[in-house]
Structure 1
Amino acid sequence: MISSKLYASLAGCIPDLPTPFDEDGEIDDEAFARLCARQIAAGAPALVVGETAGEASTLSAAEDERLIRTAVAVSDGRVHVIAGAGSNSTGQAIELARRAEAAGADAVMSVVPYYNKPMQEGIAAHFQAIALSTGLPIILHDVPSRTVRELADDTLLRLAERRQFIGLRDGTSDVTRPLRLSGRLPDSFRLLSGDDATALAYVAAGGDGSISAVCNVTPDLCHIIHSSLKQGRMQTARYLQRRLGALQTCLGKESPAALKYALSLLGVIRPTMRLPLVELDEPSKAAVASALADMDDEELPAAADA
């Protein structure tokens, strides 16, 4: 049985954590533990590990498992840990899901298979095979800009009939989707925006929350925006959302390099990337620095605040 607490945690602003690397390109375990603690202290309802912002495609299965174990240890039951376990190979996705379960994750997030361009029947069969391989709840991830193929509404509705599929990270930027699917999905199924720029409109249209990159930089502000929206204070939510505009634009252009650089300016992690991703060029660094400078100090908790 899936915990009601897990369902409750799939709301508000959930950070998609980056993976910190040291000068040699190895995982910086201490920095990652600080990232987790910083988000928990800021009130994150859950942590997403080893997914888009975490440079998942550059991580080995063993490294992925290492990140999960660190997040589980730091959270110590205080928040749920959602592990990225996606691949364009069904066999590899199954292996990642099983390793995530062994490492103590509370749920896995699995992306639509990329590059292979499967038909909808293949996408459905891929996710069903993963579900049969693990006892963990599964959050689907639809991001056509990265996968080429979308998760069609009809396919999503078919999958959601199995209670093991508990939510969707929606990276389509389609803010009408919650309205379209309202009343057609199980009440327990969670719709989470995967796009910071449209997250406010998505939640206003009936979404439950967002899985966010910018939340890594300004967790307090992001949580206030979502809280204001749910309390019906739309004007406040819109005003605060505008405060994030320039920063969201920077992060959206070159993610996660821009995210890591922003966090490095706050003294949280190094900006080190793994090939084929590289660090930002100088004009992009200047844009990120300018966006951060426009934020109030209280909106930018430093590493020492964790």
Structure 2
Amino acid sequence: MTLIQDFGGVRVRAPGKINVFLAVGGRHDDGYHELATAFQAVSLYEDVVATASDELTISVTGDVDIAGVPEDESNLALRAARLLAEETGTRLGAHLDVRKAVPVAGGMGGGSADAAAALVACDALWGTGLAARELQELGARLGADVPFALMGGTAIGTGRGDRLNPALARGRFDWVLVESPFGLSTPDVYRELDRLREEEGAGASAPAVEATVLQALRAGDPEALAETLRNDLQEAALSLRPDLRALLDRGIARGAVAGLVSGSGPTVAFLAADAEQAKRLSRALRDEGLRAMRVHGPVHGARVV
């Protein structure tokens, strides 16, 4: 009995991510910026269940606010399934049941995780049999973070962040995420970055991931990693959401070894020394009325569960 015969569908789980290092270069003529980033997949997952259907349809539920998540052709998971169908020539359909846990518009790649999960789920459901490399190539056409959601673990991303090289990370890194009730638009944050740079007369050098980041990840040393965390989008996110600056200070005051805005924000990620410190920190922040979640990384990429 196969999974599909027994269950009637395929369930795939894909992780959210934290950019532990994000250097942003100048804007190209196509509107995109050159990036150099170190991704880490963390234990906050999106689930996509694909079941056989005559058409391609989608429904969305979740543990987070999903008010801004579309259930039409603009949904990235549905676009992923349609792209896979077009590229493989299948005429089969699927209903996608997306169950979200990654904050929406939170800078953690939740939509990209949905797309990655949809690719893996529909490939299994339809028996199209694409190799991991082929799925990653399709993912890159959907969004820069989709290939990493497929790969998982820890990786260095260049270009738009979609050219990946796995990076060795020893042991476990413990994080506390604080979700914001209001999301930030990634394009808005990049526009604010460009505005701030123009206002300050600051140029953008060619981005590269610093060797100290790789050394800290290889050593599995949170104290060393804390010294190397960087997010070039952080000041732009703080400019749009000044309240996040006070939140960063609160987390450090309550024991985090470091904190940063995750990607384009507004989710804030605090690095803890170990699992016990993460537990204490998350409890303290929740006691103050914040939505704080303990996660760890690195974890696997999108896979059937």
- Under a length normalisation based on structure 1, what TM-score does the superposition of the two structures give? 0.29
The one of the two structures with greater contact order (alpha-carbon pairs below 8 A, sep at least 6) is 2
Instruction: Indicate the structure with greater strand content.
Output: 2
Instruction: Indicate the structure with greater helix content.
Output: 1
- Under a length normalisation based on structure 2, what TM-score does the superposition of the two structures give? 0.29
